[in-house]
Amino acid sequence: MTAAPLAELVGRVTKVAEEHVREADETAAFPVQALDELRATGLLGLLVPAEDGGLGGSLADVLETSTELGRVDMSVAMIFAMHCQQVAAVLAHAEGRLRAELLPEIAAGRLYLGSVTTEAGKGGHLLTAESAAAWSEGELLVDRFAPVVTGGNHADGFLITLRAPDAEADNQVSLVYAARDQLEIERAGGWQPLGMRASDSGALRLRGRLPAHQVVGRHGDFHTIVTTVFGPLAHLGWASCWLGTAAGALSRVIASLRGSRGKTDLSSELLMTRLSRARQRLDTVHALIGHARHVVETTADLSVPKVQLLINAVKITAAEECYRAVDELVDAVGMRHGYLRDSPTRLEQSLRDLRSAVLNYSNDRLHLADGRLTLLDQEVRFA
Amino acid sequence: MDPRMAELLTPFLKFLNGRELGPDDSLRERGLDSMQSINVLFEIEDVFGVSLPDEDITDATFATPATLWTAVSAQLERQGVSS
């Protein structure tokens, strides 16, 4: 990397995020200042190769950055991680003219990419689509409702899943790019959630006509993008954000305990056990993410059940363990430091934010897929 | 390709719409859901008497009738089962 060291760039963003984290949570406002800093630092182009003007970062860099941002604000971290997931799809599957149009914009920090994959009634299921793209005089017609679009009111462009034009099967899904100014975007609902309040992930209706070349990969072949990029990047990316949020919470609890020595009984066995448990959960998630990253980086065919199971296990485990760690920390420090909104530990917000983790592509749904995958792997070998 | 291959796959292909299944047709486009893979494996075991090894359970193996047949016939040869 030719720019400033990654930690320095990330530090600039976390500093800004820190200043606005309380207000963004209270007002459910999108963290525009942190996004501006992500643009200015070049971090929106972290994955774009240096020869295309980006920072040339690796998957490890994306995950590390997601964790660091998550320590301060889980909404900012998720916004970043999901943008990187979209960028990875463009890098791996967009070709020719579309690639040439998008990469310089992403590298320059002018293109924050939102993701439109949810549809009413399918619960975030990625591999089917009800809304179909249609051809009209050589252009792609898009008319799509999406119940959850993170950052939808602030994204400069979107990657949108649609049933492939002329497809008979609902599992022939295409991924298309649409710039914001190519779409008519209508807010189709508010955003007043329990947590993740700054992610501004309300429902949108998108309509537009797109030039035919704005398809990422082949029509109907979104499945390949999910296996090679979307799945691994989503699960490892989200898990890294959640790990960061729980780690930030633990860190603030430790600071609070050390700061109040003399007043807090640090010989309490109950407190020690709870701290240990929280830490153990985070070490488990950290190790799992690192191992899965290594497998993703070194395995040619990620469609093998044992690899799919590992990638899903990262998501399921991180969602459960990071939430539990923070929940236990609330018990560890009690009502005043653990439950009150204005406590410097910010456990209250961390807990609300992390409550979304099991729902963000539901663990229940992943367990259904994993049950089938488990049956396919009779020898029970591990990736 | 053994004609029984296409025969055993047909019930899983909800978008075949009465057409004949060709060896190089995309099983996904004809409606095979990856969640049905286990049922296809059971059919293969019943019809051909072989099971596919875990490392063969990939998207590439389940791409077309021909690719699936390649995997099945390799097991028929290895396991010495007379089809």
Does A377 contact B at CB distance below 8 Å? yes
Q: How many helices (H) and strands (E) does chain A have?
A: 11, 8
Give the model's pLDDT for residue A248: 98
- A15 vs A10: CA distance, rounded Å: 9
- This complex has an ipTM of 0.85
- A374 vs A308: CA distance, rounded Å: 10
| Beta-sheet pairing, A139-146 with A134-136 | antiparallel
* Closest C-alpha among B3, B9, B8, B4 to residue B63: B9
Band the pLDDT of A1: cuts 50, 70, 90: very low
Q: Is pLDDT of A29 > 90?
A: yes
Does A301 contact B at CB distance below 8 Å? yes
Give the model's pLDDT for residue B13: 94
In chain B, residues with a C-beta closer than 8 Å to the C-beta of A301 are: 58-60
- A6 vs A68: CA distance, rounded Å: 11
Q: How far is B3 from chain A (nearest CA, A)?
A: 24
Name every residue whose Cβ is closer than 8 Å to that of residue B80 and which is 6 or more positions away in sequence. Answer: none
Which class for A364: exposed (0-12), middle (13-18), buried (19 or more C-beta within 10 A)? exposed
Q: Is pLDDT of A249 > 70?
A: yes
Cross-chain CB nearest to A376 (options B15, B28, B37): B37
Q: How far is A362 from chain B (nearest CA, A)?
A: 17
Q: Which of A378, A381, A382 to mutate to test the interface with B (most CBs of B within 10 A)?
A: A378
Q: Is pLDDT of B81 > 80?
A: no
End-to-end CA distance of chain B: 12
Give the model's pLDDT for residue A3: 64
Query: Are the beta carbons of A227 and B59 separated by less than 8 Å?
Result: yes
- A194 vs A298: CA distance, rounded Å: 39
* Closest C-alpha among A226, A207, A215 to residue A176: A215
Q: Is pLDDT of A356 > 90?
A: yes
Does A304 contact B at CB distance below 8 Å? yes
- A142 vs A203: CA distance, rounded Å: 16
Over residues B30-52, the mean pLDDT reads 92
Query: Are the beta carbons of A376 and B59 separated by less than 8 Å?
Result: no
Q: What is the mean pLDDT of chain A?
A: 95
- A206 vs A194: CA distance, rounded Å: 26
Closest residue, chain B, to A378 (C-alpha)? B54
- A197 vs A367: CA distance, rounded Å: 27
- A150 vs A116: CA distance, rounded Å: 8
* Closest C-alpha among B60, B82, B81 to residue B71: B60
The pLDDT tens digits of the residues spanning A129-172 come to: 888 888 989 999 999 999 999 999 999 999 999 999 988 888 88
Q: Is pLDDT of A65 > 90?
A: yes
Band the pLDDT of A243: cuts 50, 70, 90: very high
Q: How far is A24 from chain B (nearest CA, A)?
A: 41
Query: Are the beta carbons of A169 and B30 separated by less than 8 Å?
Result: yes
Q: Is pLDDT of A42 > 90?
A: yes
Query: Are the beta carbons of B28 and A169 separated by less than 8 Å?
Result: yes
Give the model's pLDDT for residue B74: 96
In chain B, residues with a C-beta closer than 8 Å to the C-beta of A369 are: 35
Band the pLDDT of B62: cuts 50, 70, 90: very high
Does A300 contact B at CB distance below 8 Å? no
* Closest C-alpha among B70, B67, B6, B12 to residue A171: B12
Does A369 contact B at CB distance below 8 Å? yes
Q: Is pLDDT of B71 > 90?
A: yes
In chain B, residues with a C-beta closer than 8 Å to the C-beta of A223 are: 28, 59
What proportion of chain A, given as a percentage, has pLDDT over 90?
Answer: 89
- B44 vs A134: CA distance, rounded Å: 38
Query: Are the beta carbons of A306 and B58 separated by less than 8 Å?
Result: no
